[in-house]
């Protein structure tokens, strides 16, 4: 290879357009195949009844809807019509949600086989040096005020201490706010890592996030065998406490430093003025108040006091290597009494750590998080070019130090070259024990995602995802066509290893990428897709080659020779960093395919779902990796308002997806039917809110009018209702059985489905329609705020009540139903011929609505009922208005139409 190739891009057997087939030992090829992963099928005693129940419920729903349509309520045709329309939609929505769950599976990995294959001495790797591919880890943050630097620093420390070959790891921190506070916090974290990482390796610490580790409730000394553990832990804990003080004191220290430098500059300017005007009075000198770095230079990013070219959305691109690339060989510590802890015979190397803040200028659409991630993709391709990318949020840390090895088992297994990503479940800390607002999302992560794993794979959910870099680049998967294996090395015309490829005409081996089956391109057209960086273009085939599974068995197609990744990588020099800075400039993406077909996809609030959809649409597969010990853990909002705004953002993105070219109805034939249904449900589910909110008012309307959705509560209706309810309950029990979640978690999910459906989902639909039809952007913001006063309560934020317009519909539903129950009882009790069956029907469904809204009501009460008066004023006015409107439309008569007089005492 060219010696000028960037760091981490050298490879074996990939020169002169050919693979070196001599590097594949026949001894390995003759060994029996040992899989790295295995599927754990759900027991037939569970899955067979589960599928049968789905079929039965589908049939019963069809019969029920036919019966409802054929038996209208002529006394209240409007009530019957609304209910039938809603029920048809609910059945359709249930089908979209249930059909992708027909094939749930579990998976397991074998880390021992991974170690034997990639890190054990063999004829092709006599030294036993790791032959695992590199991983670039992306951590994104944007605002140090909303995302505390201490949290981000802990995430970085958990990454640097991960159990993966040090020389194969590279961590990139994206600071989209360009804040000096984040920069210096990362510098502090890099310094503390010299103590923390060796400590974790020496004593096998879990988890390797210092804040979480030192906050563990369990005994920290359990299973620790080294005699100096207590002393080491005490010393490291003291150092971490000092580290936290330094991090928390950074805002004040940066401000004081900047003020001191500012005063110094003003004094210098005044001296110059005196020298130039010795006979004239000295006037005050106006100098822009800059933000200064510790070395006495201006911070090139965002200043504390915004200035031209130093404000949010207007600052230079910054790349700073915080920790240089480690040596290829282990660097063992030596006995030294001056060290904080004894690290003798412990590898003290640290992975590459890079701070990145992309350039931002007015007039450019920077595309929020998706644009920041694409900037990291380009910069990392030039600096380390790991064939795999793990992306994490700044508050989502590595809880299981071997998580990346678990993900690599899937990527390096037979057929793993067709995987675009490995998605890990999201697990959260700091949530109240009752999980009032279903923040854990266990139904989604443990039921829906496991079920999707049985088809083409789970959707991408934004964090905790291990990507194949070449899939992010927009290429088709290997062997996507019979006449075109599709592996990128073949497309680049570099490999002639497979006879099927070698015998393929040259014109059929051009690079294939994009959504069209007939779309082909060659190397000369790559700059139009990826930009004009030759470093970036040269890195693409290298990343593809290094990401292949080992060719250690004849059944492995598109493999790489064992031992190919054990040689030293190129050094990281100044020219490479300069090139990386150029590709994060704000103009680099102009007239390229970044954000359109390459990298994270633009145009949606939920860019994660769209990015995963594009990969599945090209024929790539994904897998779901549930580890025994949680792979990653993060934080989630626990108070009602923040939770509703989180759901609003997700639902708004889904509406945008539905009205875009990413609608699953437009998917390519490469996407399987059930996968297409799953993605269709992603775009449609917010629209259920329209029918849900109508259905929640139907019980109240029934009680107000004295009518019901059916003419009479006959046996047929009740039997259908009973069977539908029982089948739903039995399906839930079986889902709980094969997923392992608790019944309470399932019920919390059902409750918040109605809470979110009547508030955030409805607002998302309205917002999406206004944006699509009128181009109007609407954002729902907090209008009043009250804070918790109990700092000793870990869940104090749960009781904080923040007023938001999203609360109006659920409150109105509750108040209208409560008023309707009172009216219904009065109407029935004081009627000459009470219609108890219709009252019971209406009251039953009203209680069904109120039971689902119970967590919402508790959230409004706060800790001691400190709900803003405006909440009740608005909701009361709306409820009274609806009640009076009904009285005006259908005033009570002296003789009740359904039986007797209707008079209040």
| 352-364 burial code (b ≥16 CB/10 A, e <16) | bbbbbbbbbeeeb
Residue 489 has what pLDDT? 38
CB 350 within 8 A of CB 160: yes
Residue 171 has what pLDDT? 97
Nearest CA among 309, 304, 323 for reference residue 180: 304
Nearest CA among 387, 388, 459 for reference residue 426: 459
Residue 773 has what pLDDT? 79
| Residues 401, 404, 410, 412, Cα dihedral to 10° | -120
Q: Is the pLDDT assigned to residue 2 strictly greater than 70?
A: no
Higher pLDDT, 514 or 154: 154
Prior bond to 207 cis, omega within 30? Answer: yes
Alpha carbons 170 and 543: distance in angstroms, whole number: 14
- Token pair in block for residue 858: 């508790």
CB 397 within 8 A of CB 463: no
CB 444 within 8 A of CB 746: no
CB 152 within 8 A of CB 173: yes
Average pLDDT, the chain: 84
Residue 833 DSSP class = S
pLDDT in tens, 653-666: 999 999 999 999 99
| Range of weakest confidence among 624-628, 748-752, 841-845 | 841-845
Alpha carbons 489 and 152: distance in angstroms, whole number: 37
Question: Helices marked H in 635-742 — which ranges?
Answer: 640-658, 673-684, 688-705, 715-739
Nearest CA among 473, 410, 790 for reference residue 626: 410
824 SS3 class: helix
pLDDT band at 506 (very low <50, low <70, confident <90, very high): very low
pLDDT band at 508 (very low <50, low <70, confident <90, very high): very low
| 604-632 burial code (b ≥16 CB/10 A, e <16) | bbbbbbbbbbbbbbbbbbbbbbbbeebbb
| Range of weakest confidence among 396-410, 449-463, 512-526, 548-562 | 512-526
Q: Which parts are annotated binding residues for Mn(2+)?
A: 369, 393
Model pTM score: 0.87
Alpha carbons 625 and 426: distance in angstroms, whole number: 11
- How much of the chain exceeds pLDDT 70, in percent? 83
Residue 871 has what pLDDT? 58
Q: Is the pLDDT assigned to residue 779 strictly greater than 90?
A: no
Alpha carbons 533 and 373: distance in angstroms, whole number: 18
- N- to C-terminal Cα distance for the chain? 96
pLDDT band at 19 (very low <50, low <70, confident <90, very high): very low
pLDDT in tens, 863-893: 654 555 555 565 666 666 665 555 555 555 5
Residue 441 has what pLDDT? 93
Phi/psi for 352 (5° steps) reads -65, 130
Residue 486 has what pLDDT? 37
- Token pair in block for residue 369: 């998080």
Higher pLDDT, 162 or 718: 162
Alpha carbons 589 and 484: distance in angstroms, whole number: 30
Residue 901 has what pLDDT? 34
Q: Is the pLDDT assigned to residue 13 strictly greater than 80?
A: no
Residue 461 has what pLDDT? 93
Please confirm, yes or no, whether 792 is among the known catalytic residues.
no
Pairing label, strands 388-393, 465-468: antiparallel
- CB count within 10 Å of CB 49 equals 16
Residue 15 has what pLDDT? 37
Nearest CA among 38, 46, 30, 65 for reference residue 724: 65
Please confirm, yes or no, whether 515 is among the known catalytic residues.
no
Query: What value does the mean pLDDT take over residues 524-531?
Result: 86
Q: Is the pLDDT assigned to residue 785 strictly greater than 70?
A: no
The total number of residues shown for the chain amounts to 905
Query: What value does the mean pLDDT take over residues 43-65?
Result: 92
Higher pLDDT, 675 or 787: 675
Pick the catalytic residue from 175, 176, 342, 642.
176
- How much of the chain exceeds pLDDT 90, in percent? 56
pLDDT band at 195 (very low <50, low <70, confident <90, very high): very high
Higher pLDDT, 594 or 339: 594
Q: Which residues fall within 8 angstroms of residue 104, CB to CB, at 6 or more apart?
A: 42, 47, 447, 450, 451, 453, 454, 738, 739
Residue 683 has what pLDDT? 93
Q: Is the pLDDT assigned to residue 503 strictly greater than 50?
A: no
Phi/psi for 172 (5° steps) reads -120, 125
Q: Is the pLDDT assigned to residue 897 strictly greater than 50?
A: no
pLDDT in tens, 386-423: 999 999 999 999 999 999 999 999 999 988 999 999 99
Higher pLDDT, 8 or 690: 690
Q: In Å, what is the CA distance from 494 to each residue of 19, 478, 511?
A: 8, 15, 11
Residue 896 has what pLDDT? 45
| Range of weakest confidence among 87-96, 147-156, 250-259, 500-509 | 500-509
Q: Is the pLDDT assigned to residue 500 strictly greater than 60?
A: no
Q: Which parts are annotated binding residues for UDP-alpha-D-glucose?
A: 140, 146-147, 176, 368
Residue 483 has what pLDDT? 38
Alpha carbons 390 and 363: distance in angstroms, whole number: 31
- Token pair in block for residue 822: 């009172």
pLDDT band at 96 (very low <50, low <70, confident <90, very high): very high
- What phi-psi label fits residue 882: left (phi over 0), alpha (psi between -120 and 50 degrees) or beta? alpha
Question: Helices marked H in 467-624 — which ranges?
Answer: 469-472, 488-491, 499-502, 526-530, 534-546, 574-582, 607-617
Pick the catalytic residue from 417, 453, 538, 608.
608
Nearest CA among 805, 850, 891 for reference residue 697: 850
- CB count within 10 Å of CB 472 equals 21
Alpha carbons 885 and 889: distance in angstroms, whole number: 6
Q: Which parts are annotated binding residues?
A: 140, 146-147, 176, 368-369, 393
- Token pair in block for residue 860: 């409004």
| Range of weakest confidence among 53-57, 306-310, 649-653 | 306-310
pLDDT in tens, 824-854: 888 777 766 666 677 777 888 888 999 999 9
Q: Is the pLDDT assigned to residue 445 strictly greater than 70?
A: yes
């Amino acid at each position: 290879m060219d010696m000028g190739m960037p760091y981490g891009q050298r490879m074996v057997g990939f020169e002169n357009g050919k693979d070196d087939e001599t590097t594949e030992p026949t001894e390995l090829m003759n060994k029996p195949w040992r899989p790295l992963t295995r599927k754990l099928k759900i027991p037939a005693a569970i899955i067979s009844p589960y599928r049968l129940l789905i079929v039965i419920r589908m049939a019963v729903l069809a019969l029920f809807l036919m019966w409802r349509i054929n038996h209208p309520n002529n006394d209240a045709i409007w009530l019957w019509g609304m209910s039938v329309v809603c029920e048809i939609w609910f059945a359709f929505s249930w089908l979209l949600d249930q059909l992708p769950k027909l094939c749930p599976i579990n998976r397991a990995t074998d880390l021992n086989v991974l170690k034997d294959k990639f890190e054990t001495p063999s004829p092709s790797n006599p030294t036993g040096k790791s032959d695992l591919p590199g991983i670039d880890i992306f951590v994104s943050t944007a605002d140090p005020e909303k995302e505390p630097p201490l949290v981000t620093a802990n995430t970085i420390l958990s990454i640097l201490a991960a159990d993966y070959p040090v020389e194969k790891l590279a961590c990139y921190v994206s600071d989209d706010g360009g804040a000096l506070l984040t920069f210096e916090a990362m510098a502090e974290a890099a310094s503390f890592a010299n103590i923390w990482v060796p400590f974790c390796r020496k004593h096998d610490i879990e988890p390797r996030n210092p804040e979480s580790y030192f906050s563990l409730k369990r005994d920290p000394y359990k299973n620790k065998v080294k005699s100096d553990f207590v002393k080491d832990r005490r010393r490291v804990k003291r150092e971490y406490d000092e580290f936290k003080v330094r991090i928390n004191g950074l805002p004040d220290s940066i401000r004081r430093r900047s003020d001191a430098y500012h005063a110094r500059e003003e004094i210098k300017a005044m001296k110059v003025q005196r020298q130039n005007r010795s006979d004239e009075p000295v006037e005050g000198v106006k100098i822009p108040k800059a933000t200064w770095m510790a070395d006495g230079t201006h911070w090139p990013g965002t200043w504390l006091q915004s200035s031209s070219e130093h404000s949010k959305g207007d600052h230079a691109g910054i790349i700073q290597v915080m920790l240089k690339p480690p040596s290829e060989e282990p660097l063992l510590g030596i006995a030294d009494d001056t060290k904080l802890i004894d690290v003798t015979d412990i590898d003290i190397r640290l992975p590459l750590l890079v701070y990145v803040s992309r350039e931002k200028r007015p007039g450019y659409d920077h595309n929020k998080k998706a644009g920041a991630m694409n900037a990291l993709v380009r910069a990392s391709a030039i600096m380390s070019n790991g064939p795999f990318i793990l992306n994490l949020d700044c508050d989502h840390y590595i809880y299981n130090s071997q998580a990346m090895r678990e993900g690599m088992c899937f990527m390096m297994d037979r057929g793993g070259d067709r995987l675009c990503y490995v998605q890990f479940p999201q697990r959260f800390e700091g949530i109240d024990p009752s999980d009032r607002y279903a923040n854990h999302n266990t139904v989604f992560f443990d039921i829906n995602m496991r079920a999707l794993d049985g088809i083409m794979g789970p959707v991408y959910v934004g964090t905790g995802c291990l990507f194949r870099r070449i899939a992010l680049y927009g290429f088709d998967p290997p062997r996507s066509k019979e006449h075109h294996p599709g592996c990128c090395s073949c497309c680049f015309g570099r490999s002639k290893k497979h006879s099927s490829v070698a015998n393929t005409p040259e014109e059929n081996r051009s690079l294939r990428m994009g959504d069209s089956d007939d779309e082909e391109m060659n190397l000369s057209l790559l700059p139009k897709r990826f930009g004009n960086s030759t470093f970036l273009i040269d890195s693409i085939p290298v990343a593809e080659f290094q990401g292949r599974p080992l060719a250690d068995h004849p059944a492995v197609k598109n493999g790489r020779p064992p031992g190919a990744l054990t040689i030293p990588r190129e050094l990281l020099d100044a020219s490479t960093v300069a090139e990386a800075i150029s590709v994060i400039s704000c103009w680099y993406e102009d007239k390229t395919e970044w954000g359109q077909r390459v990298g994270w996809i633009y145009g949606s609030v939920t860019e994660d779902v769209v990015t995963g959809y594009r990969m599945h649409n090209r024929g790539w597969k994904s897998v779901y990796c549930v580890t025994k010990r949680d792979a990653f853990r993060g934080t989630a909002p626990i108070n009602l308002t923040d939770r509703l705004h989180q759901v609003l953002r997700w639902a708004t993105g889904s509406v945008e997806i539905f009205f875009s070219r990413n609608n699953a109805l437009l998917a390519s034939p490469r996407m399987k039917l059930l996968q297409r249904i799953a993605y269709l449900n992603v775009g449609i589910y917010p629209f259920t809110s329209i029918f849900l909110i109508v259905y929640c008012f139907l019980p109240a309307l029934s009680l107000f009018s004295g009518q019901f959705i059916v003419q009479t509560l006959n046996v047929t209706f009740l039997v259908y209702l009973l069977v539908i309810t029982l089948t739903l309950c039995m399906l839930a029990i079986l889902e709980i059985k094969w997923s392992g979640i608790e019944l309470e978690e399932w019920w919390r999910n059902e409750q918040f489905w109605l809470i979110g459906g009547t508030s955030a989902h409805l607002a998302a639909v309205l917002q999406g329609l206004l944006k699509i039809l009128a181009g109007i952007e609407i954002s729902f913001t907090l209008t009043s705020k009250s804070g918790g006063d109990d700092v000793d309560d870990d869940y104090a934020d749960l009781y904080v009540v923040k007023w938001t317009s999203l609360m109006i519909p659920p409150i109105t539903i509750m108040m209208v139903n409560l008023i309707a129950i009172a009216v219904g009882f009065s109407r029935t009790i004081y009627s000459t011929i009470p219609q108890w069956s219709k009252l019971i029907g209406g009251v039953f469904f009203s209680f069904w609505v109120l039971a689902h809204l119970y967590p919402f009501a508790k959230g409004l009460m706060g800790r001691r009922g400190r709900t803003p008066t405006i909440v009740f004023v608005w909701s009361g006015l709306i409820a009274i208005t609806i009640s009076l409107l009904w009285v005006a439309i259908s005033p009570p008569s002296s003789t009740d139409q359904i039986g007797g007089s209707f008079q209040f005492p």
